[in-house]
Amino acid sequence: MSEEKSLNFIEEIISQDLASGKYASILTRFPPEPNGYLHIGHAKSICLNFGLAKHFGGKTNLRFDDTNPAKEEIEYVDSIKEDVKWLGFEWAKECYASDYFDQLYAYAVQLIEKGLAYVDDSTAEEIAQQKGTPTVPGTGNDFRNRSIAENLALFADMKAGKFADGEKVLRAKIDLASPNMHMRDPLLYRIKRSHHHRTGDKWCIYPMYDFAHGQSDSIENITHSICTLEFIPHRALYDWCIEQLAIYPSHQYEFARLNMTYTVMSKRKLLQLVEEGHVESWDDPRMPTISGMRRRGYTAHSIRDFCDRIGIAKRENIIDLSLLEFCVREDLNKIAQRRMVVTNPIKLVITNYDKGEEVLHSENNPEDPNGGTRELPFSNELWIEREDFMEEPTKKYFRLGPGLSVRLKSAYIVTCESFEKDAAGNITKVFASYHPDSKSGQDTSGIPVKGTLHWVSAKHAIPVLLNEYDRLFSVEDLSSTEGDFKNYINPNSLNKVEAYAEPALANDSLDARFQFLRKGYFYQDTKSTKEQLVFNRTVTLKDTWAKEQKK
């Protein structure tokens, strides 16, 4: 990080901790629960945790917070590892909370021995009721006064599987009148017979988040444990456990999670979109998941840049989707191969072109002098965009119309002579003459043109399929809406179009980034084949003409 850039509040804390000698080096961790795919909000956390370590010369662990086997799957573990790697980060250690189950159990026994935990036979409802409310203190029950010996025996029996699911829980004995609800004798362990993706059926009791997370941090010697704002009330409990157990004192810090316009950022909601078929899968290119964005054509670099630009603070935020789009356009503009693709074709006949065909050349990327060129076949019958012809052009229209001239990109200047319509009044063909002395790169015609059109030679064109994506939701701020969030799904978030592409595309590499001239940035879909090329639109180009027309 450059010196002129100011530090965010967490970087300030770390700087001070390092300067004061509190730590010789730092260790952070990224701790997802493997119950879904990672999304752009996780990317913010990943960039923060790994970025901090990188900046301050420390390390970062990847830790799976797998304490609830009912929701977790190996598929999610695999996807999370893939996504973190793809984003460009390397973890020091791959850890699992489940690796610490034995240790965690021992910690719980210690607490019981200190008279700080007890087995409670109450039902979930009873416990909830006895907890009181934020304004009314909770009340205890007789189980709270069980002897240490009895608690020890009972907890061992819980572990041994002598009770049914939900029959008993282990609770910390703290303060039922605490103004912080999380300190009102929180649950530490519950009985849950569920196959765990790593420990199998070894355990029938599982630690709760609050009894697993801080201790896992401590076991790994995490110096700075960074999480989101909703965990602020948990911090007192985090510290309490560490203090009572007298173990390595990791510290928790909280920042505001990412929210973005026109999308949702919760695994629960994203899971719903997948399960109810509103999108195809977790990696549907409309999803704000890392895998969806990757499939859509976002680069890891652009996502990292985005995370860098949004900053880290404690206030709630909602980031404009336009910032993400800016980041990916900026990156892609520099690296994308330019190609020409016509989506809504109309035939352009060059009436005076009698050479049959010729091969022209066009630059792969005007931003990159070393990007080279590609071959571009030209002939007397071309496809151009329907919207590039207007029967009765308006004043600011720079494209084709009767009597108007335009440059065909990397080819010639043509002048429109006439056009044909079908019975329904639709334009079917446009006729134009070309100016032989206006060839791209050696133009001596002196004809002034304002517009340049992309085109494809009709007989050389290859058919491709384009997925044109738009925002997933039609309202900017989903958090301000009422009712089911799915009511606000944009019905036009995907527009599949057949298109004609220049032949060079058939031989391009699978993972190349493209800019289809005047249309947007595209990336080959995972389902694309040689027989049927499919491209996903990552993002459109900025379109000031479309904006002008709306006025």
Q: Is 285 helix (H, G, I), strand (E, B) or coil?
A: coil
For residue 12 the two structure tokens come to 């300030």
Longest Cα pair distance anywhere in the chain, in angstroms?
Answer: 102
Residue pair 198/101 in contact (Cβ under 8 Å)? The answer is no
CA distance 466 to 469: 9
Contacts of 192 (CB under 8 A, 6+ apart): 68, 69, 70, 165, 204, 205, 206
CA distance 63 to 33: 8
Q: Is 537 a catalytic residue?
A: no
Shortest Å distance, C-beta 424 to RNA? 25
Q: Is 71 helix (H, G, I), strand (E, B) or coil?
A: coil
Closer Cβ to RNA, 330 or 532, answer by number: 330
Closer Cβ to RNA, 274 or 284, answer by number: 274
Q: What is the separation, in whole angstroms, between the first and last Cα of the chain?
A: 43
Shortest Å distance, C-beta 9 to RNA? 6
Closer Cβ to RNA, 389 or 419, answer by number: 389
Closer Cβ to RNA, 190 or 284, answer by number: 190
Contacts of 546 (CB under 8 A, 6+ apart): none
Residue type, 145: N
CA distance 477 to 317: 11
Shortest Å distance, C-beta 532 to RNA? 25
Residue pair 548/542 in contact (Cβ under 8 Å)? The answer is no
> Among residues 71, 193, 257, 518, which one is catalytic?
257
Q: Is 257 a catalytic residue?
A: yes
Closer Cβ to RNA, 334 or 527, answer by number: 334
Q: What b/e sequence results for 311-347 when a residue is b if at least 16 CB atoms lie within 10 Å of its CB, and e otherwise?
A: ebeeeeebbebeebbbbbbebbeebbbbbbbbbebbb
Q: Is 33 a catalytic residue?
A: yes
Shortest Å distance, C-beta 410 to RNA? 5
Shortest Å distance, C-beta 112 to RNA? 17
Closer Cβ to RNA, 150 or 254, answer by number: 254
Burial of 440 (0-12, 13-18, 19+ CB in 10 A): middle
Contacts of 189 (CB under 8 A, 6+ apart): 108, 155, 158, 169, 170, 205, 206, 207, 208, 211
Shortest Å distance, C-beta 530 to RNA? 26
Shortest Å distance, C-beta 542 to RNA? 4
Residue type, 503: P
Closer Cβ to RNA, 127 or 303, answer by number: 127
For residue 474 the two structure tokens come to 């039609």
Q: Which of 103, 104, 101 is nearest to 199 (CA)?
A: 101
> Among residues 168, 173, 267, 519, which one is catalytic?
267
Closer Cβ to RNA, 159 or 439, answer by number: 439
Shortest Å distance, C-beta 365 to RNA? 7
CA distance 38 to 19: 34
Q: How far is CA 167 from CA 121, 123, 347, 358, 416, in A?
A: 6, 7, 75, 82, 83
Residue type, 190: R
Angle made by CA atoms 30, 35, 39, in degrees to the nearest 5: 60
Active site residues: 33, 257, 267
